[in-house]
Amino acid sequence: MAPIRLRHPKGVTTLQVDVDSASVLDLQQQIYSVTDIPPSQQDLKSGYPPQSLTLIPELPLASLGLKGGDQLMLMQKAGASSAPFQASPAQISAPSYAPQASRPPPAASPTVGATHARGPDSVPTEGGYLVHRIVPDDNSCLFSSIALVFEQDMSKAPMIRQIVADAIRRDPNTWSDAILGRSREDYISTILKPSTWGGAIELTILASHYSTEIASVDVETGRVDHFTPPPASDSGSRCILVYSGIHYDAATLAPMLDAPADFHQTVMPITGEGDSDPVIVAAKKLADILRAKRAYTNTTTFTIRCQVCKKGLKGEKEARTHAMETGHVEFGEY
């Protein structure tokens, strides 16, 4: 362990960091525990004059070139509020290595959908309002969102993780090493850790477990991904998740904007074909509102340069591949 001195809005803290084996995300999580600034909102600078560090969570901490005794300066990204960051471990549908875009003041057109001036974003639809339900930015956002929807209790996220682990353990044919991208036992032990994100594999399993379609609307593109249960057990209902590129939230149906959470309908019957269903239409309008606020992260177009060989790279996938092929782990923004 090595000391890293952190200057932040609350003061100065000396962190004890494993600079040899920790990941960038490990450092971000440690900073979060001290400052309450989520990783997606952290702007870290080092050196003199201070230069912003390129934070790619899954890369080794060595990618930042830090050593014991270094000093970091932390600022919260402009336009960011003290709310959510996060999303996936398997990274199948939820890559998450680029910083989240800063969020300028709301600029949603009134033709897109209605918003509640003093509450979360919402869209009027049949039977009430589809309301954006923000969950904590703590690496369990997918599991917290599912717990909110099906268990009405976000604190049951660990139970949701266990459901996934048990399903993988019971079905080695469907969830083989090849499908999981690693050994089954490794995947199971990893997904049970609160620091591990969830993605397409988890949503597929949970849709089957709850016999309910999980529709995930992507904020940046408005695309809706439908995770459906087996036809024999399909209840004919669906729930809505909102995906920012690095974070999952839920969306639930309220009879009125100021209705307490207990009155929200978290699972809705499917009443229309495909994306013509009224709830899906409302979910896409909700994504429009969030997109207008730039409340999303594009992890595929983030451009960086290898500081060792100066090769230009685009997105977390190219950065990770380059690091694995060359051993180069120091990156900077263009």
Structure pTM? Answer: 0.60
116 annotated active-site: no
Q: Which CATH number fits domain 1-82: 1.10.287.1120, 3.10.20.90, 3.40.109.10, 3.40.50.300?
A: 3.10.20.90
Given the residues 116, 209, 226, 328, select the one marked as catalytic: 328
141 annotated active-site: yes
Torsion of CA 96, 101, 103, 107, to 10 degrees: -100
State the number of CA atoms in the 13 A half-sphere of 280 facing the CB. 20
d(CA 77, CA 220): 20
d(CA 164, CA 201): 9
Max Cα distance, the chain (Å): 63
Given the residues 247, 249, 277, 306, select the one marked as catalytic: 247
Given the residues 121, 137, 138, 218, select the one marked as catalytic: 138
User: What are the tens digits of pLDDT across the range 299-324?
Assistant: 666 667 787 888 888 766 677 677 76
CATH code for the domain defined by 122-292: 3.90.70.80
Contacts of 177 (CB under 8 A, 6+ apart): 183, 184
Burial status of residue 254 (CB atoms within 10 A of its CB: 0-12, 13-18, 19 or more): buried
Given the residues 8, 141, 218, 277, select the one marked as catalytic: 141
Phi, psi of 13 (to 5 degrees): -135, 140
138 annotated active-site: yes
User: What are the tens digits of pLDDT across the range 48-107?
Assistant: 667 788 888 778 888 888 888 888 988 887 644 333 333 333 333 333 322 222 222 222
Q: How confident is the model at residue 114 (pLDDT cuts 50, 70, 90)?
A: very low
